[in-house]
Amino acid sequence: MNSFFDEFVNASTGLKEFIENSQKALEKQYLREREADYEKKNKERSKITSSSLENHAASTYMKEMFRRFQHELKESGAYVVIKKKSNAIYQHYEAYKTTVQEEYRKYYVLIVIENGTITCACRKFESLGILCRHIIRYLYKMQRSEIPKQCITLRWMVGGNERVGALQHKRPKIGNFLLKGIC
């Protein structure tokens, strides 16, 4: 406790100055705590599970994409993944909700063994660049601790914009002249 007040008071400090400096010390401590709360809330990602897959996603994805990943992670818990076919070229899995096992509610996850490509019939990764709940469930079944590199879109990664650079915009050309006033 003495070290806390050391920078604000000394042996020659009067009572009035001691009270003023004590107030400053408490305010400074309050600000430190507020900064720590801000850092925790805005820098660290709050997790819904303690899985290594979610930890990897938290350190990999930008804040909004991590939130979307968490939604898919939460929804993946309702799915079961079973192996259907396997050969030297690919592995074929079937994902379905545990409550409904109807034919039209099944999703197919395909893994190409040679390059590790993972695709799903819902095509969410191909269209949005984020893993679907079916692939996440497959990764859990295989006890993966990290999201495969092929399943991470660079633009959704932390610092992805710095790696890719700014998007280049060129004005469209029609014939020999540029469109003016439109772009």
Q: Single out the residue of 148, 153, 135, 146 nearest to residue 76, CA to CA.
A: 135
Output the CA angle 141-108-133, nearest 5 degrees: 55
Q: Give me the residue label for tokens 């990943």.
A: 69
Query: 37-91: per-residue pLDDT in tens?
Result: 777 666 667 788 888 999 999 888 888 889 999 999 999 988 999 999 988 889 9
Prediction pTM value: 0.64
Domain-by-domain residue ranges, the chain? Answer: 2-42, 52-157
Look at residue 170 in the predicted model and tell me its pLDDT.
Answer: 60
Query: pLDDT class for 102, splitting at 50, 70, 90?
Result: low
Q: Single out the residue of 107, 129, 136 nearest to residue 120, CA to CA.
A: 107
Helix (H, G, I), strand (E, B) or coil at 127: helix
